[in-house]
Every structure is written in C-alpha cells, then in structure tokens.
Amino acid sequence: MSNKIKIYHNPRCKHSRNGLAYLEEKTSDIEIIKYLNDGITEEEIKEILLKMHKKPSEIVRTQEAIYKANYKGKTFNDDEWIKIITENPKLIQRPIVIGKYKAVIANPPENIDSIL
C-alpha cells in the first residue's frame, strides 16, 4: 500500500490550487487526482468519508448551481448521496487531501498539517 498523500484536485479552483501548493511545500510524495476529469468511484468516496468521519451530505458544495437546481431542500440517505456525488463530482468540497489514516478538506490549506 502506498504512503503517498492523495489530493483530489480541481486546477480551476483557487482553494484547490492553494491546497496543492501548500502540500507541495510539505512533501513531494503526492498523488494528484483530477477527479473532474477522471471521475470518482463510490469506493473512493466511502474511503474519504471513513477517514474524515463525515456523512456524504457534509462534503457537498451547497453553493453549486447543480445542487441548488436539483438537490436543495430534498432529503437523501447516505447511499443516495454517494451516488449523487459519484455522478456529479463537481459537488465535492475541495480540495480533499487523504493520508494513510485520515482525510481533510484542505480549505484552509493548514488543515493538511493534521494528516502529515
């Protein structure tokens, strides 16, 4: 198993770029996952949630137009949210940085310190 730090990164997002730059100052052992291009699996989302101790709805970007148009005010269970996130990766808070045992939303980037 790799000890690389993974970052789910969106190069077009300022917060994501800041998180990556901060991470690069701390380590070179990084795996960059451009989840908007490559997609994200339900298994990856479950790993992230497990390492964050969060529910799927807690990592959703509620300011996204797609959220407001399709999901705002509606109730979904965890499995439904995971499917929604898989189909709409733009809804994921970013960047998410994953260490061996823990994951964080790296906004602000200093949150990364807790997993290094």
Amino acid symbol at 90? K
Q: Which domains does the chain have, with CATH numbers?
A: 5-115 (3.40.30.10)
Question: pTM value?
Answer: 0.93
- pLDDT of residue 3 exceeding 90: no
User: Taking a C-beta distance cutoff of 8 angstroms, is the pair 52, 103 a contact?
Assistant: yes
At 76 the pLDDT is 98
pLDDT, tens only, 12-48: 999 999 999 999 999 999 999 999 999 999 999 999 9
pLDDT, tens only, 61-106: 999 999 999 999 999 999 999 999 999 999 999 999 999 999 999 9
How far apart are the C-alpha atoms of 89 and 12, rounded to whole Å?
14
pLDDT, tens only, 40-72: 999 999 999 999 999 999 999 999 999 999 999
User: Which H or E run contains 30?
Assistant: strand 30-33
At 2 the pLDDT is 58
- pLDDT of residue 1 exceeding 50: no
